[in-house]
Structure formats: structure tokens, C-alpha cells
């Protein structure tokens, strides 16, 4: 059998090079317009400074919505003097400056400090709603204004304070069972630019309720919390729910205490601690006697801690130690 050649002949190499020379590996250059469009589509990104990251669901606050809506009905109906429909709107999370940009030039904004956490809460009311509620309270239809751009009258100011105070009482009652919060009034603004609740780029949670008293125009009450305030609260509530209603899993605690009761610890007593030089140790031989001095009390050591003190004696023909002083606090 003959063996096939492992290399190409000169004619075969020339033919192969001719074929390869006809193939172009150059890509067509992009047009200037395509390059400009691509440059516009590239957005700068500051690592760690973007606020549009996805956020966790605020489960507890979402569950509170319906309860707050029912309690708000008891606040609005005596003023509107008619049956009022109040619906809770799903929570929204957005940047504070985005929320500000969508607000009218004139609006009622009441800011509160939230304790014991560090942060602010804000209640936003439409001025026309306050004016119409004053009209309804004094026997009118409560369906007059759609928008209001002028300053509040003294009657409107009093009603605005009454409404905001009642809303904060509703919020305090709603938070009471899960995580008690206290809302201390800080200031009232009518220009959204002066409502310095958080930094403009910080995310806020908007809790909204639509209100329709009788045949009047519907309006909206918005309650704003900084997201940074709500997330730690939600985490603590979730931890308590997992641990038990009162935050203390008694079954787990009893099992842990039972396991600790069976832990073995090294217990010893030291009668004396004589000191000797290296030369004396090297010179020791069987039969030598080392003099020691016994103290009146000797320690009972658990690990390396002094747990008790006592005296050495005898019981039923065996050496024994009688405890005189205890220090159980060392084991806690």
C-alpha cells in the first residue's frame, strides 16, 4: 500500500490562494448617522448612585391600605355630611423629584417627623377638596371648585388642620399593632418646591386613596414615606412574624434550655500552687517532699472561671468540698 502525501503540491497551493484572495473580511463601515444614534443611546452610569434599582414589596403597608381606607371614611363622612366612597390605590415607589414634577403649583403639604425612626412623612391634599369640604360642612353642596390657586381662608386653614390631625390619628392607630409610630408635626407648605422631605433623587413610597363624597368630585389623598424609613420597619415586622406573634418562640427557647442542661463542663479545684525553679524541678527524684500551704478556702473552677469557693473536708470516708460561696452569674 502506498501512503498519501501529507502536503499540497505547488499548483494546489496556488489555486487555493487564488480562491482566498477573492474573499473580503472587511466589515462595511457604519455611517456617521448610525454612530451618532448609538452615542445618544449610551447613558452614563454612576456605580452605587442610581436610585432606580428594584425594591422589595412593602407587604405590611399594602395590607394596611384597606384598614386605613375604612378609618378615613369615619373621618370624612362627618365633615362631608354624606356617604363617602374611599378606595385604596396600590403603592407606588418613585423618585421624590418625579413626584414633585407632577404636582400643581398650589397644594396642601403637611410634613411630620416620624418617631422612633429617623425620617419624615408627608400628607398631600388638594386645595379644592378642602374648600369643597368647608362648603359641605356649612350646608353647601360641596361640589363647587375643581381647582384652587389662591390662599386658604381662615375657615379652610382650620379645616385643613382638623383633617390632617385626624389622618395622623388614623395612621397612628393603623401602625399601633405592628410597629408603633408617632407623627410629630413639623411644617406646612403650599409650594411643592419647599417641601424638603428627602433629597430629590431619593425614592419615596406613595400611599394614595381616592375619595368621593356623595355626588361631589373625586379627589385624592397621598401619604408619602421615604423608602429608607419603611424598609427597616418591614424587615423587623417580617422577623417578628417568623419568630411568632409576640416575637418570642417559646418552644425553641425551651428546647435550647433543655439542650444546655445536658452540656458537660470541666469542673476542678486547685488546692495549692507552689512555685519551683527549673533547677529544683530537674533535681526532683522519687521520695522528695514538696511543702505546700493550704488556704482556708479553695476555688471551684468551671473552665477557667471561678464559679464557687469552699472548704476541703471528708464525707462518708471520701475527700469532699463544701460550697460556701457561689457566683452563678459567670454562666449567664
- Write out pLDDT tens, residues 238-296: 777 666 555 556 777 888 888 888 888 888 888 888 888 999 889 889 988 888 887 88
175 and 219 together in one domain: yes
Alpha helices (H) in the chain, listed in sequence order: 10-21, 32-41, 59-80, 96-101, 127-137, 154-176, 227-243, 250-261, 278-282
Question: Could you read off the pLDDT of 203-218 as tens digits, one per residue?
Answer: 999 999 999 887 777 8
Name the pTM for this structure.
0.57
Q: Does residue 303 share a domain with residue 187?
A: no
| Residue 81 · residue 137 · CB < 8 Å | yes
Torsion of CA 161, 213, 183, 171, to 10 degrees: 160
Residue pair 32/184 in contact (Cβ under 8 Å)? The answer is no
Residue 46 is assigned to a structural domain of this protein: no
Q: Can you point out the beta strands (E) in 263-304?
A: 267-269, 298-302
Residue where a domain stops, chosen among 209, 243, 277: 243
Domain count, the chain: 2
Contact at 8 Å (CB) between 168 and 112?
A: yes
Domain that holds residue 151: 59-243
Does 105 lie in the same domain as 223?
yes
| Residues sharing a CB contact under 8 Å with residue 225, sequence separation 6 or more, in sequence order | 61, 114, 119, 121, 204, 205, 207
Residues 107 and 175 in one domain: yes
Residues in the chain: 332
pLDDT digits (tens, 9 = 90+) for 36-89: 666 666 666 555 444 444 445 788 888 889 999 999 999 998 888 888 899 999
Amino acid at each position: 500500500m502506498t501512503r498519501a502525501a501529507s502536503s499540497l503540491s505547488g499548483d494546489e497551493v496556488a489555486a487555493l490562494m487564488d480562491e482566498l484572495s477573492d474573499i473580503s473580511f472587511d466589515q462595511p463601515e457604519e455611517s456617521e448617522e448610525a454612530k451618532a444614534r448609538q452615542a445618544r443611546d449610551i447613558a452614563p452610569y454612576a456605580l452605587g448612585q442610581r436610585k432606580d434599582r428594584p425594591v422589595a414589596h412593602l407587604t405590611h403597608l399594602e395590607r394596611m391600605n384597606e384598614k386605613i381606607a375604612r378609618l378615613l371614611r369615619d373621618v370624612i363622612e362627618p365633615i362631608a355630611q354624606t356617604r363617602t366612597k374611599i378606595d385604596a390605590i396600590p403603592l407606588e415607589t418613585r423618585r421624590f423629584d418625579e413626584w414633585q414634577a407632577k404636582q400643581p403649583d398650589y397644594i396642601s403639604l403637611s410634613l411630620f417627623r416620624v418617631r422612633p425612626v429617623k425620617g419624615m412623612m408627608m400628607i398631600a391634599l388638594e386645595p379644592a377638596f378642602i374648600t369643597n369640604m368647608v362648603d359641605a360642612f356649612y350646608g353647601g353642596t360641596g361640589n363647587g371648585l375643581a381647582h384652587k390657586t389662591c390662599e386658604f381662608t381662615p375657615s379652610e386653614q382650620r379645616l385643613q388642620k382638623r383633617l390632617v390631625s385626624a389622618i395622623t390619628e388614623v395612621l397612628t392607630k393603623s401602625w399601633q399593632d405592628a410597629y408603633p409610630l408617632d407623627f410629630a408635626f413639623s411644617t406646612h407648605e403650599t409650594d411643592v418646591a419647599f417641601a424638603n422631605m428627602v433629597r430629590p433623587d431619593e425614592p419615596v413610597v406613595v400611599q394614595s386613596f381616592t375619595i368621593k363624597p356623595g355626588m361631589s368630585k373625586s379627589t385624592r389623598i397621598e401619604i408619602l414615606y421615604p423608602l429608607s424609613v419603611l424598609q427597616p420597619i418591614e424587615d423587623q415586622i417580617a422577623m417578628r412574624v417568623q419568630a411568632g406573634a409576640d416575637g418570642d418562640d417559646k418552644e425553641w427557647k425551651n428546647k435550647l434550655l433543655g439542650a444546655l442542661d445536658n452540656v458537660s463542663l470541666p469542673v476542678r479545684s486547685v488546692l495549692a500552687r507552689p512555685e519551683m525553679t527549673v533547677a529544683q524541678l530537674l533535681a526532683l527524684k522519687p521520695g522528695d517532699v514538696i511543702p505546700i500551704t493550704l488556704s482556708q478556702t479553695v476555688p471551684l473552677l468551671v473552665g477557667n472561671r471561678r464559679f464557687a469557693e469552699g472548704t476541703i473536708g471528708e464525707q462518708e470516708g471520701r475527700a469532699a468540698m463544701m460550697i460556701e460561696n457561689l457566683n452563678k452569674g459567670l454562666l449567664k
